[in-house]
Each structure stands twice: as C-alpha cells, then as structure tokens.
Amino acid sequence: MISFNQYKALTFDCYGTLIDWENGILGVLKPLLRVHNTNLNNEQILEIFAEFEAELEKGEYIKYREVLKRVVQKFGERFGFEPTADELNSLANSIQHWLPFPDTVEALRALKQKFKLVIISNVDDDLFAFSAKHLEVEFDRIITAEQVKSYKPSLNNFRFAIERINLPLEQILHVAASLYHDIVTAKSLGISTVWVNRRADQNIVGITGSAVSQPDLEVPDLKTLAALVSPKYTKDGLQL
C-alpha cells in the first residue's frame, strides 16, 4: 500500500483507463470487418489494432486522427479489402461517442476533492475535447500527444507533463491501464504508479500490450482507488 498523503497531483491516461476504448474500437471495427467478409473475434481485433497502432506511433509524428485512419487502411491491406473514405475516418469520428467506464465520473469527482487532476493522453486536442464532456470534471492540466508531438511510451510526453505540473516527482502519482504505454515509462522517471487492471478477473493483459514493470499499486477499477484514498468514498461509489 502507498501513502496517498504525499501526493498533490494524479495524472491519468484516458483511453482504457477512464474511457472504455475497447468497446469503442470494437463497435466500429467489428461491423466494418463483417461487411468485408472478415470474421475475427474481439481479442483478435484488439490485438491487431494494438499492433498497427504501435507501429504507426513509433514513426515520424502524425496526428492521432491520421493514426486511426491508417489503422483501418492496414486492416484492409492485411485482409484484402479497400476501405471506403467513410470507413477510413470511422474510428476517429467515433471517439466523440466513446463513453467512460461506469465508475469513472464519480471516482474522478471524489479524487478531485483531494488532488489536482491531469490528463496525459495519446490523442489530439480536439478528440480529447469530446471525451472531456463525458468525464464531467475539470482537469487542472491536459497534456496530449498533439502538444508533445510524440506518443507514449516516449519519455517526452511525461517530461513535458512534469514540466507543466511543476511539482516534485514524489508528489505525482500516475494512474493508467497500460503497462506498456504508461507504467514502465513513468516508473523509469521516478514517478509512482497505479495500474488500473480492468481485466484482472479475466487474466488478460488487454489491448494496451504487456510489459515488465511493477506498479506501486494495482487496482481493478477507479472506484477501488477512490475508496483507498478517501474513507468517505465506498467501493459501491456512495458518499457517506
């Protein structure tokens, strides 16, 4: 267990941690692939998505909207079909409809009472603006890949955020679902970490990929984190 009293800011990954992006991605790619006579199960789709996304984010910086467009194009190349213009843009256009996990908003409201809240996300500014409306809390800082011109797990994104937060590292706690994109890099810089392992009960690492790192704390969801932080917050999400 870690001592939460030492922290003044919680930094969050967004997609996969706060926003249910697996269902968002599947909601677009499953019907798209079916139209093109390509039948893959959920895990296959998510694994291939993660493969393509990581490949595109390692190269010269392009906006995330373009990353998602090229992901769809690569699905077509691998499975022998040519996506339409609407299909190429379908993933990026769908982000405005991706919803938070059921526990996210209330947990963020509880955590906001004690900490500054900061987003560090692999996304474009305008795309996160859609998600911000669903999250319903005011973040103290929003750091996007578009601002940094690189994607996590790059050290650049965290260094940029640390500079903007302007607090000692020991007062920052990073909360994320991805070992690969977030936990490994944050730990390497001396930032404490919480791994939100939303697939713990399934024994599956998930779309964000596996990596070797030991977070300071593992929780199955945000409501559990909020309950650990505040005795006034229960795991059922009720204020006492």
Separation in Å, CA 192 to CA 1, 14, 182: 12, 17, 11
Task: Round to whole Å and give the CA distance between 169 and 22.
Answer: 31
Each residue's pLDDT, cut to its tens digit, for the chain (240 residues) gives 789 999 999 999 999 999 999 999 999 999 999 999 999 999 999 999 999 999 999 989 999 999 999 999 999 999 999 999 999 999 999 999 999 999 999 999 999 999 999 999 999 999 999 999 999 999 999 999 999 999 999 999 999 999 999 999 999 999 999 999 999 999 999 999 999 999 876 544 455 545 566 899 999 999 999 999 986 665 555 453
SS3 assignment, position 14 = coil
Structure tokens belonging to residue 114? 């004690």
Task: Round to whole Å and give the CA distance between 211 and 70.
Answer: 25
> Any residues with CB less than 8 A from the CB of 131 and at least 6 apart, and which?
14, 15, 18, 19, 95, 98, 123
Q: For the chain, how many residues are written?
A: 240
Q: Catalytic site residue 86? A: no
Structure tokens belonging to residue 121? 């996300």
Task: Round to whole Å and give the CA distance between 186 and 57.
Answer: 18
Helix, strand, coil % (nearest 5) of the chain?
50, 15, 35
Task: Round to whole Å and give the CA distance between 47 and 54.
Answer: 11
Catalytic residue among 13, 103, 124, 221: 13
pTM metric for this prediction:
0.91
